[in-house]
Amino acid sequence: MSGEKTVTACLLIIGNEVLSGRTQDANLQYLAQGLNGVGIRLAEARVIPDVEATIVAQVNECRARFDYVLTTGGIGPTHDDITAASVAKAFDVPLARNADAEARLRRHYKPEDLNPQRLRMADLPEGAEIVENPISKAPGFRIGNVIVLAGVPRIMQAMFEGYRHRLAGGRPMVSCTVVAFVPEGKMAAGVAAAQAAHPETEIGSYPFIRDGRLGASLVIRGTDAAQVAAATDAIKAAVRAEGGDPIEES
């Protein structure tokens, strides 16, 4: 895209509660949009269980394949919070008490409340840099290109908002959405032709049924606003060619 490298990220959602269907993940969508805002493209996401060997293998596979790896979940005080220990193992460094993280916990908790389980939250991979947690004080961290965040959405969001300026992205994607009350199968040839004529953009077709009417949202994405605008015009023409009235939602 315009010769500039696309900066990619992979999200590892660590949590048995998502895989069991107990909890609906709410972090992927937030991070996808937040990363895009700093010019980083979420290229893959994986939901994996709270199993050390799995976390180690996936962190190592993904940190080699993507520019950034973000993780959510597993940084609390309980026995099933094994993200820090697993990431330390992935990087083959010791898990060690981080003095800065410990100081934060000591400021947050009364001495009688800071039990060994809570103190354990200050054990981070050696060499990790703290990612501030303004809410619960259980620190996230960054080591190499891996950024470890909390799983609770409100906390994860506060951590990400405080850290995002530290991430180095490329050009952000811009997008435009054209809504048409025409079945996507009817427009498919015209849409494919528009995609072929505008290969620098990505055109997605997402069918829907709204108020009993069949239609599709056609989403045009790219890093160049002029190319996106030209592809959008081609899509509108394809909609009109099938008798539809394209609605631009941008």
Q: Enumerate binding residues for its own copies (CB under 8 A).
A: 16-25, 28-33, 36, 41-50, 54, 76-81, 113, 115-118, 121, 152, 154, 173, 175, 184-189, 191-192, 195, 202-209, 216, 219, 221
Please list the residues that pair with 207 across neighbouring strands: 216
Q: Give the CA distances from residue 179 to residues 12, 89, 186, 233, 240, in Å, rounded to whole numbers and listed in that order.
A: 32, 48, 14, 13, 12
- We find the least distance from the C-beta atom of residue 204 to its own copies, in angstroms, to be 5
Cβ closest to its own copies, residue 64 vs residue 209: 209
Q: How far is CA 79 from the centre of its chain?
A: 26
Q: Give the CA distances from residue 73 to residues 4, 26, 47, 48, in Å, rounded to whole numbers and listed in that order.
A: 33, 12, 11, 10
Cβ closest to its own copies, residue 12 vs residue 88: 12
- We find the least distance from the C-beta atom of residue 216 to its own copies, in angstroms, to be 8
Rounded to the nearest 5°, which phi and psi values hold at 115?
-80, 170
- We find the least distance from the C-beta atom of residue 32 to its own copies, in angstroms, to be 3
Cβ closest to its own copies, residue 73 vs residue 143: 73
- We find the least distance from the C-beta atom of residue 127 to its own copies, in angstroms, to be 26
Please list the residues that pair with 200 across neighbouring strands: none
Please list the residues that pair with 198 across neighbouring strands: none
Structure tokens at 144: 């190499």
Cβ closest to its own copies, residue 144 vs residue 183: 183
